[in-house]
Amino acid sequence: MKCRRCREPAVIDVRRHRAAFCRDCFLHHCREQVRRTVEKHKMISPGERALVAVSGGKDSLAVWDLLLDLGHEADGVYLGLGIGDYSEHSAVYARDFAAARGVALVEVDVRAEAGFGIPEASQAVRRSPCSACGLSKRHLLNRAARDRGYDVLVTGHNLDDEAAVLFGNVLHWQVDYLARQRPVLPSTDGFVRRVKPLIRMSERETAAYCVLKGIDYVVEECPMAAGNRHLRYKETLGQMEESSPGIKADFYLGFIERVLPLLDGVAETERGLVGECSRCGSPSTAEVCAFCRLAERAAATAVPSDVLPLAVGQLDGAGIPLEGHRPADER
């Protein structure tokens, strides 16, 4: 196989583009995908300070690296979720990357900040671990960016993530969630703008980017995510992609182009309902925001974290919605 751009031997084929690339041309392709996405959706303006949510995984490290290469001022924030060795292990990759690139990494320990780790929170509220984790991340990442004066919060959601969330939202016709599933969530009172520069890159491409760029990342999956609904949707879409390359991109990018504009009114109405949490002051559609309610219940049923199981897949499938399925105050 030859590189589409330079005709040198290829190292990766990207079937949905009907193309193969050598190392240098693939890295160029990735930078162009992100540059065009950032510009098209007006994600980050020149001179703005970005904070990248970094997990130590391929997507967040790839997006951080790409934004730095594109000349953006971007620091990282790592949330220690309290998931045993996995959290300790993941943090090392985030720290090593920051040190190698000479950029700042903000570290927030969820247990110190919120009084609970993800394992005990999911046990306490009988939500799936991914649901409690997502809710906590959205709240604490926004707070970290807002309190430190960043203009924009960057996440590493890729094409596969977004297609899987869209798939779930369509299956259940969650119109309000569909209206919120945007590449850019604008800044409003209390919310820092949130952007997803990787929406045109599959997770195979972000993983390939890291390997070819020499970025070490945590390959192991979070022990609490096994069997979750999001992964099942990805598997279904992956099987469709195998026989129809490009179908995931058509599904998600077509949604952005053709359906989201029809939902602007729904999103506007929702924004009008957002007030302020009476406890923490964060944006909320309820008197007490979802995160504070989670923290309260976690505190009320606190048990020592070292007796909690890490693999709590038995909580999954309890009918609890995952990423994308969330109240408006925790967008």
Partner 1 sequence: MQVRLHNPKRTVDVDGPVRVDKLLRQLGLRREAVLVIRGDSLVTGDALLAADDEIEIRPVISGGAR
User: Using alpha carbons only, how large is the chain's radius of gyration in Å?
Assistant: 19
Question: Is the CB of 100 or the CB of 262 nearer to partner 1?
Answer: 100
Minimum distance of partner 1 from residue 314's CB (angstroms) = 16
Question: Is the CB of 269 or the CB of 314 nearer to partner 1?
Answer: 314
Question: Is the CB of 57 or the CB of 82 nearer to partner 1?
Answer: 57
Question: Is the CB of 79 or the CB of 292 nearer to partner 1?
Answer: 79
Minimum distance of partner 1 from residue 140's CB (angstroms) = 13
**Residue among 252, 259, 272, 270 nearest 196 (CA):** 252
In the complex, which residues of this chain contact partner 1 (CB under 8 A)? 1, 10-13, 15, 20, 23, 53, 55, 57-59, 129-131, 133-135, 137, 155-157, 160-161, 164, 202-204, 206-208, 211-212, 214, 219-222, 224-225, 228, 230-231, 234-235, 238-239, 241-242, 322-323
Minimum distance of partner 1 from residue 268's CB (angstroms) = 25
Q: Are 318 and 126 in contact (CB under 8 A)?
A: yes
Question: Is the CB of 55 or the CB of 284 nearer to partner 1?
Answer: 55
Minimum distance of partner 1 from residue 272's CB (angstroms) = 26
Minimum distance of partner 1 from residue 130's CB (angstroms) = 4
Question: Is the CB of 124 or the CB of 222 nearer to partner 1?
Answer: 222
Minimum distance of partner 1 from residue 261's CB (angstroms) = 26
